[in-house]
C-alpha cells in the first residue's frame, strides 16, 4: 500500500465545521486555540455558529479550512505515521498538506494562510471577476469555450479537477458569456461559483506579487514528506521549491487531475481526504476508480478507515 493524504480547498467550508473534533480531541482543540488567538478572535464562532455569509468571506474561509484540516490531521496522525508517501492539497489545501509534511508549524502556516487570504481579497476588490465549473467538456472544448467567450472579456481555465470537470475564471462578463457557449459545445452543466473573485488567473497577479515579497518572512523549511504542487503536478521538498510553488499557485491553474495521476504513476493506491467535505474524494474516484479513497470530516469517519 502507498498512502496519500489530501486536503480540500476553498468552497468546502460549512457552518459547524470541526466542532466535534474541537470538543472531543485534546490535540485538535489545541490547534483551534492557536488559530483563535492568532486570528484575533471570532474564527471559531464563524466556523461553529456562522452565519454562512461570514464564513464565505475569503479572509475567514481560508483560515477556517486550514484550521479544521490541520486539527483533524493532529487528531489522527498516529494512524498514518511512517506510511505516507505523499501529501497534496487542492489550492488552499496545499498549505494543509505542507503542514502535514512538516514544512512549517501551525502558527506560521496560519499566519501565511491569513496573509494569502487578505492579499487575494484585495486583488479581488481591484480586479472584480468570477468563476464557473464546466461539466462534461474535454480540455480542447474548454479551450474553445474560453476563446469564444474572450470576446466579452478575459477568461481562462483555472482548475483541472477531474475528467469532465474544469473550472474557468475571469471577468464576470466573460464568465456569463461562457454559459451559452458551454451549452452549444455540449456541456452537461455550467455552474457559476459563489467566490469573491477570479482565482487562479492573471487577476490575482497583485496577490502573487505581494506573497512573493513577503514569503521569506515566514518560517518555511524543507518538507519531511514529498508534497505534490498544484502548479507543477509533481512533488516539491525544499523550502525554496515550496515558496516558488506557493507564489506561482495563486495565478496558475490547479492541475489536480494531473497531480493525482502523477502520484498513482509513482505507486499511490490509497487516498485519505482530511478536512471539510468530500469533494476531493469524488474527484479522485473519477480520475481512477481502482484506488481506495476515504475521507475524515467528522469524528465518526475515523472508524471507516480500513488501511
Residues forming the active site? 91, 200
Q: What single-letter DSSP state applies at residue 290?
A: T
Q: Which three cell numbers stand for residue 260?
A: 493525482
Q: Determine how β-strand 130-135 pairs with β-strand 189-192.
A: antiparallel
Q: Determine how β-strand 292-296 pairs with β-strand 84-89.
A: unpaired
Q: Which three cell numbers stand for residue 225?
A: 514528506
Q: Is the dihedral of CA 181, 184, 185, 189 positive or negative?
A: positive
Q: Which residues of 71-91 are buried (b: 16+ CB within 10 A; e: fewer)?
A: bbbbbbeeebeeebbbbbbbb
User: What are the φ and ψ backbone dihedral angles of 226, each rounded to 5 degrees?
Assistant: -60, 135
Q: Which three cell numbers stand for residue 158?
A: 483555472
Q: Please spell the DSSP secondary structure of 92-132, one letter per residue.
A: THHHHHHHHTTSS-HHHHHHHHHHHHHHHHHHHHHS--EEE
Q: Which three cell numbers stand for residue 244?
A: 516558488
**Helix H or strand E segment including 236:** strand 235-236
Amino acid at each position: 500500500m502507498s498512502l496519500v493524504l489530501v486536503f480540500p480547498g476553498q468552497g468546502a467550508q460549512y457552518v459547524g465545521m470541526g466542532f466535534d473534533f474541537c470538543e472531543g480531541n485534546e490535540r485538535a482543540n489545541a490547534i483551534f486555540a492557536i488559530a483563535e488567538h492568532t486570528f484575533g478572535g471570532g474564527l471559531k464562532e464563524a466556523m461553529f455558529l456562522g452565519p454562512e455569509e461570514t464564513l464565505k468571506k475569503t479572509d475567514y474561509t481560508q483560515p477556517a479550512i486550514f484550521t479544521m484540516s490541520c486539527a483533524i490531521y493532529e487528531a489522527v496522525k498516529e494512524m498514518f505515521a511512517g506510511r505516507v508517501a505523499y501529501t497534496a492539497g487542492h489550492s488552499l489545501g496545499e498549505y494543509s498538506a505542507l503542514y502535514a509534511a512538516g514544512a512549517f508549524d501551525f502558527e506560521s502556516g496560519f499566519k501565511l494562510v491569513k496573509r494569502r487570504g487578505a492579499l487575494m481579497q484585495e486583488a479581488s476588490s481591484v480586479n472584480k471577476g468570477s468563476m464557473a465549473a464546466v461539466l462534461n467538456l474535454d480540455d480542447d472544448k474548454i479551450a474553445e469555450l474560453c476563446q469564444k467567450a474572450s470576446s466579452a472579456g478575459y477568461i481562462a481555465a483555472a482548475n483541472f479537477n477531474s475528467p469532465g470537470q474544469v473550472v474557468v475564471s475571469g471577468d464576470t462578463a466573460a464568465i456569463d458569456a461562457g454559459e451559452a457557449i458551454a451549452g452549444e459545445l455540449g456541456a452537461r452543466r455550467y455552474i457559476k461559483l459563489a467566490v469573491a473573485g477570479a482565482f487562479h488567473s492573471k487577476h490575482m497577479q497583485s496577490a502573487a506579487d505581494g506573497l512573493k515579497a513577503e514569503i521569506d518572512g515566514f518560517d518555511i523549511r524543507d518538507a519531511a514528506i514529498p508534497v505534490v504542487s498544484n502548479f507543477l503536478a509533481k512533488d516539491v521538498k525544499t523550502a525554496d521549491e515550496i515558496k516558488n510553488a506557493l507564489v506561482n499557485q495563486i495565478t496558475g491553474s490547479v492541475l489536480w487531475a494531473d497531480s493525482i495521476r502523477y502520484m498513482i504513476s509513482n505507486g499511490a493506491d490509497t487516498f485519505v481526504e482530511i478536512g471539510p467535505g468530500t469533494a476531493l474524494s469524488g474527484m479522485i474516484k473519477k480520475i481512477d476508480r481502482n484506488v481506495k479513497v476515504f475521507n475524515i470530516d467528522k469524528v465518526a469517519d475515523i472508524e471507516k478507515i480500513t488501511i
